[in-house]
Amino acid sequence: MSNLNLKVDAATSTSRDRDGKDAIRTRTNPIINFQLGLIAALLCAYLVVELSSPIRESKYRPSQASIIPEPDALGEFEMIPNEPPKQKVVAKVTKKPTVEKPVTKEAPPEVVPDDEPVIDEPTSSEPTPEPKNDTPTESPGESDNKQPTSNAARPMVAVSEVPLYPGCSSRLDRNDRIDCLNKKMARYIQKRFDTGLAQGASGDQTINITVLFTIGVDGLPKDLQIKAPSKKLEAEARKLIEQLPQMVPGKLDGVPIDVRYVLPIKFQIR
């Protein structure tokens, strides 16, 4: 009997477990069921309304407008016969021959390099008398053997050998000598010129000083001509030019001559 009871209890326990698992699997959410039912009801109601409502045919027909032109708006027409166009008679105008006046061609202006600025010298309105040539004429052979005797200063562009500043190599060509001379002069002025003498000027102002002098046959400066805004600046420029070191003079055909040189001095006061 005991064995029979054990078997019955084991069977009932296993069947209960299976029923519990099936109940868990078949359990559903009531909210989802409610939403599905609501959607189905709405669809059914929509279909019923659509099927029950009759289809109406539109009775609108587009109107056909006819445009009839008014007789007064067209105006009156006039028939013009085709006639050939009349040719206009153009009077011929005879031009008088113009007499051209002879044009005197002037010589083109001479271009002076930047190394030697041009200074306008005052010219007198009275005609200058031509000098009489009382000296006897010489043959070309005799004039070639003689050296130039004129003591007038020559511009930098007219000399064959440019004055040589101390520190410049004598092996330089003509253009390099001019470049070296200009650089040495500019460096000399920049180191020694007292710009404080122009502090009296009001506001920002650019000071321009022009110095014209001659490098003599002895290599020293002479014949100074200075243009400056004040006497103090003129005296300062004169002092510096007079203290220039001795240079190798310029030469023309191997003969030392006086050479003119223009030195612009420019600085700004703030």
Tens-place pLDDT, residues 31-70: 999 999 999 999 999 999 988 887 776 665 655 544 554 5
d(CA 64, CA 45): 44
Q: Give Cβ neighbours of residue 205 (< 8 Å, ≥ 6 apart).
A: 198, 268, 269
CATH number of 152-269: 3.30.2420.10
Better-predicted residue by pLDDT, 197 or 187: 187
Confidence of residue 157 (pLDDT cuts 50, 70, 90): confident
* Structure tokens, 126: 């009275």
Element (H, E) at 211: strand 205-215
- Provide the pLDDT for residue 188: 93
- Provide the pLDDT for residue 199: 74
Q: Give Cβ neighbours of residue 242 (< 8 Å, ≥ 6 apart).
A: 221, 224
- Residue ranges of domains in the chain: 152-269
| pLDDT tens for each residue of 213-262 | 999 999 999 999 999 988 999 999 999 999 999 999 999 888 999 999 99
The pLDDT of 205-219, averaged and rounded, is 91
Q: Of 252, 248, 59, 28, give the one whose Cα is nearest residue 156.
A: 252
d(CA 91, CA 53): 94
- Buried/exposed 220-234: b ≥16 CB within 10 Å, e otherwise: ebeeeebebeeeebb
Confidence of residue 22 (pLDDT cuts 50, 70, 90): low
The pLDDT of 133-138, averaged and rounded, is 42
